[in-house]
Amino acid sequence: MTTSHEIPTLLTERGLAERNYDVVIGLDEVGRGALAGPVMVGAVAVRSARLSDLDIIAGVADSKLLSANRREAMLGDLEEWSDAWAVGAASNTEIDEFGIMHALGMAALRALTDVQAHMAFDARASRPSICAILDGPYDYITRVVDSFDAPELQYPVDVITQIKADQHCATVSSASVIAKVTRDHMMTSLARSEEAYAAYGWDRNKGYGSAAHREAIARLGPSPLHRVSWHLS
> Which residues line the annotated binding site for a divalent metal cation?
28-29, 146
The candidate with the shortest Cα–Cα distance to 170, out of 19, 70, 45, 69, is: 45
Helix (H) or strand (E) holding 133: strand 130-135
Annotated binding site: 28-29, 146
DSSP assignment letter at 56: P
DSSP assignment letter at 61: -
The candidate with the shortest Cα–Cα distance to 109, out of 127, 129, 93, 132, is: 132
Handedness of CA 64, 66, 72, 77 (dihedral sign): negative
Burial (0-12, 13-18, 19+ Cβ within 10 Å), 52: exposed
The candidate with the shortest Cα–Cα distance to 40, out of 81, 95, 115, 97, is: 95
